[in-house]
Amino acid sequence: MKPRMIVPDVHYVGAPDFDRKLFDALIPLPDGTSYNAYLVSGRDKVALIDTIEPKKLPVLEAYLASVPRIDYVVSDHTEQDHSGSIPWVLERYPQAQLLSSEPAKSMLADHLGLDPAKIRAVADGERLDLGGKTLRFIYTPWVHWPETMSTYLEEERLLFSCDWFGSHIAATDLFVDGADCVKAEAKRYYAEIMMPFRKTVQKNLEKIKDLEIRLIAPSHGPIYRDPRSIIQAYRDWTDDTPHNTVVIPWVSMHGSTEIMVDRLVTRLVERGISVFPFNMASADIGQLAMALVDAATIVFAAPTVHVGPHPMVFNAVVLANALRPKARFASIIGSYGWAGKMPEMVKAAMTVLKVEHLPSVIAKGLPKPADLEAIDALADTIVAKHREIGVL
Ligand code: FEO
């Protein structure tokens, strides 16, 4: 199998994974994923940019069968879907030097058992001349691990961004023109992987703003031939101002909480707010994560199981804590039979979200007219808060 040309002297040696359905044993991958690796060949030296998930190593082996020499292996990111095949590459090419960011040295040792003495840390901004092809290493921390860096091929104005700007898509086509056709998948990827580090993503966007970029070759999903729209999408997603939207992760056991959710959805829509309800009994948590990227308000809606919140809504709180969305407001609604402390327990679990807590509404059994009026009042409060921050 011959390496596939991206531009002259730059080749693709990665692998699509059509069968992978979960990442990190957590995140649904409806479109599979890919593990992209690239060869850059100068007149004098050859560099391999990242490797691939070890379970796809036979694909990399087949590509490299026709490659007699690799002088440098660049590890932009230590997570094993990119670094996991480095030990095999170093065994096949014993003269190759492994390059990484400084923080990656110990991480590569921790995760792969590599000898840190054999890894050369490159400095932020350092250049490496391969002979007519110049790699520039740009530290881009926290996209999405502390050690992540990007590699810029100056002559081609090509940014190897690793996870940053990636998308979980398995495809045989290598390129996408513009980003519109993969924006949903790229947003899902951003939401699940990058959103917790939104502020550092902003800083990294600022860092590359003057870099002339003709191509972005991430380590998951297609290569962008016109990267402007994916860069702009990242600017939008990381912007501090949320949208005029409300996300409602909910679950209902006997219908009471569902009645309250339906009432709230109706009242919010009547007042000009977009609402994204997710029944946690069946929701795709990737879609929930995507909705959390923009939401100004999150309303958790849970019935009470025994004496506490339904665990599926607790799961949504844990997910929101992990993803740290930019939401400004939160509320809790739901129902109970005999133990009415559910809202306090959900609120106590919101340990990471920096939100203003709006009044909770909890109904004993079926919601009564007064409960539904309280839901209407909550809708009015949300409208007022969205107006206050200028999104409605
Ligand atoms: Fe694609 Fe963070 O690994």
pLDDT in tens, the chain (392 residues): 999 999 999 999 999 999 999 988 888 899 999 999 999 999 999 999 999 999 999 999 999 999 999 999 999 999 999 999 999 999 999 999 999 999 999 999 999 999 888 899 999 999 999 999 999 999 999 999 999 999 999 999 999 999 999 999 999 999 987 667 788 999 999 999 999 999 999 999 999 999 999 999 999 999 999 899 899 999 999 999 999 999 999 999 999 999 999 999 999 999 999 999 999 999 999 999 999 999 999 999 999 999 999 999 999 999 999 999 999 999 999 999 999 999 999 999 999 999 999 999 999 999 999 999 999 999 999 999 999 999 99
Kindly give the distance from the C-alpha atom of residue 165 to the centroid of ligand 1, in angstroms, as a whole number.
Answer: 11
Nearest CA to ligand 1 atom 2: 79
Cβ of 76 less than 6 Å from ligand 1: no
Nearest ligand 1 atom to the CA of 145 is: 2
Report CA(336)–ligand 1 centroid distance (Å): 42
**Looking at residue 25, what is its pLDDT?**
81
- Determine if ligand 1 sits within 6 Å of the CB of residue 163: yes
Output the pLDDT for position 179: 65
Ligand 1 centre distance from Cα of residue 143 (Å): 9
**Whether the CB of 82 sits within 6 Å of ligand 1:** yes
Q: Measured from the CB, is residue 20 less than 6 Å from ligand 1?
A: no
> Ligand 1 atom 3: the closest Cα is on which residue?
79
Please tell me if the CB atom of residue 147 comes closer than 6 angstroms to any atom of ligand 1: no
Residue nearest atom 1 in ligand 1 by C-alpha distance: 163
pLDDT of residue 182: 82
Give the model's pLDDT for residue 223.
Answer: 96
User: Is the shortest distance between the CB of 53 and ligand 1 below 6 Å?
Assistant: no
Q: Which atom of ligand 1 is nearest to the CA of 193?
A: 2
For residue 163, the ligand 1 atom closest to its alpha carbon is 1
- Ligand 1 centroid distance, CA of 278 (Å): 27
* Rounded distance from Cα 308 to ligand 1 centre (Å): 36
Q: What is the pTM of this model?
A: 0.95
Say yes or no: CB of residue 81 within 6 Å of ligand 1: yes
35 CA → ligand 1 middle, Å: 9
Q: Quote the ligand 1 centre to 296 CA distance (angstroms).
A: 28
Q: How far is the CA of 82 from the centre of ligand 1 (A)?
A: 7
For the beta carbon of residue 291, count every other beta carbon within 10 angstroms: 24
Distance between Cα 81 and ligand 1 center (Å): 6
